[in-house]
């Protein structure tokens, strides 16, 4: 297993991050426990979750499943770099959130952290991530609340998710004024089909020393061989394939043909491409089964030569950092 530092920290994380969003809604507790055990056996130590995962009336269920796995002992917690998130409504199911039950007020940051620690059955969170930017709460308030959690030992590092490049810059400027570390990582939508972050988010993250943790590396399954699977009577894939535009279908057909030529599964190539991007720390994979996890891990053994990388850029054109990308 390959490991790397998370941004400008001394924290060593696996080059693949285990996403747990499916735990609860699609993967029951026993299967989730087995999947996390397999992840540890394969050397994955970086797990990502959120306080709202579980969905609907089961918000927080995913954290509870992780907590019950930690409770089995055997070094499970000690060997895991745990990232969770706050922002969304984490109030009681079946009602609208009360004030300060969502977003990033100092009160909600405190409450949400305490609730996550309880569900997770741990006394600290390695990376506490803001799931979205809160345009209504001043950075001074956010950082003061995070500083308290760090001082109490309940949070080691703070991260962001779905931030624009200028949000990262503003956050780091405010943290710097307080002599606080600020952000150490950013989670962004990033894959061969979604490359907008190359304009400003990735340059900002690199400038400020943040690790980048791409979510949806297969663009909801489109980069996982959707055309091939649709032809194999996959109901879900067939539905996705029907919704493709002509241009998307042409792109994906060229992509799947290239993957066939390379001798690798499309999903493996998509992950391998992300691992070849210098700004990327660890793509998040959200397997429901051990077989899906195994497919993702194969990406670590795939080396894409420059000719292949150039061909992928032809199929899925990317961006240069701004302002060069905007130049005539």
pLDDT of residue 235: 62
CB 256 within 8 A of CB 221: no
pLDDT of residue 89: 84
Per the structure, how many domains does the chain have?
1
pLDDT < 70 regions, the chain: 233-235, 237, 328
pLDDT in tens, 62-73: 999 999 999 999
Instruction: Show the tokens assigned to 180.
Output: 């606080």
pLDDT of residue 294: 93
Residue 266 counted as domain residue: no
Instruction: Report how far residue 225's alpha carbon sits from residue 95's, in angstroms, rounded to the nearest whole number.
Output: 40
pLDDT of residue 328: 61
pLDDT of residue 239: 80
Residue 320 counted as domain residue: no
Residue 326 counted as domain residue: no
Instruction: Report how far residue 185's alpha carbon sits from residue 209's, in angstroms, rounded to the nearest whole number.
Output: 8
Instruction: Show the tokens assigned to 289.
Output: 């089964």
Which of 88, 79, 49 is closest to 65 using CA atoms? Answer: 49
pLDDT of residue 234: 60
Expressed in angstroms, the distance from the first to the final Cα of the chain is 43
The parent domain of residue 293 ranges over: 3-220+274-307
Residue 245 counted as domain residue: no
The owner of tokens 């735990």 is 23
Q: What is the pTM of this model?
A: 0.96
Residue 128 counted as domain residue: yes
Instruction: Report how far residue 81's alpha carbon sits from residue 126's, in angstroms, rounded to the nearest whole number.
Output: 6
pLDDT of residue 93: 73
Residue 45 counted as domain residue: yes
Residue 36 counted as domain residue: yes
Point out the residues that are catalytic: 53
C-alpha torsion sign, points 28, 220, 164, 202: positive
Residue 38 counted as domain residue: yes
pLDDT of residue 91: 75
| Consecutive H or E run containing 173 | helix 165-177
- Residue 35: give its domain's CATH number: 3.20.20.100
How crowded is residue 236: how many other Cβ atoms within 10 Å of its Cβ?
A: 11
């Amino acid at each position: 297993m390959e490991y790397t530092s998370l941004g400008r920290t001394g924290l060593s994380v696996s080059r693949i991050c285990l996403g747990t969003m499916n735990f609860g809604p699609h993967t029951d507790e026993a299967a989730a426990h087995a999947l996390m055990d397999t992840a540890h056996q394969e050397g994955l130590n970086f797990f990502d979750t959120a306080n709202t995962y579980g969905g609907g009336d089961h918000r927080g269920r995913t954290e509870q499943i992780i907590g019950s796995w930690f409770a089995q002992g055997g070094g499970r917690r000690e060997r895991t770099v745990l990232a969770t998130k706050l922002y969304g409504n984490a109030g009681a199911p079946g009602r609208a959130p009360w004030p300060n039950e969502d977003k990033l007020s100092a009160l909600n940051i405190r409450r949400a952290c305490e609730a996550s620690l309880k569900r997770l059955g741990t006394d600290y969170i390695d990376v506490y991530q803001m799931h979205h930017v809160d345009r209504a709460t001043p950075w001074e308030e956010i950082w003061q609340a995070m500083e308290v959690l760090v001082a109490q030992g309940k949070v080691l590092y703070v991260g962001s998710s779905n931030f624009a490049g200028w949000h990262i810059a503003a956050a780091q400027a405010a943290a710097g004024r307080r002599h606080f570390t600020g952000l150490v990582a950013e989670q962004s939508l990033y894959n061969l089909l979604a490359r907008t972050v190359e304009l400003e988010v990735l340059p900002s993250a690199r400038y400020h020393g943040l690790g980048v943790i791409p979510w949806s590396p297969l663009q909801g399954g489109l980069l996982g061989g959707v055309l091939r699977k649709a032809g194999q009577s996959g109901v879900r894939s067939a539905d996705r394939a029907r919704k493709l535009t002509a241009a998307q279908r042409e792109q994906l057909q060229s992509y799947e043909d290239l993957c066939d030529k390379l001798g690798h599964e499309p999903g493996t190539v998509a992950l391998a491409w992300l691992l070849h991007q210098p700004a990327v720390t660890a793509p998040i994979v959200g397997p429901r089964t051990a077989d899906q996890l195994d497919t993702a891990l194969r990406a670590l053994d795939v080396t894409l030569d420059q000719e292949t990388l150039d061909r992928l850029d032809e199929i899925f054109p990317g961006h240069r950092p701004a302002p060069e990308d905007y130049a005539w």
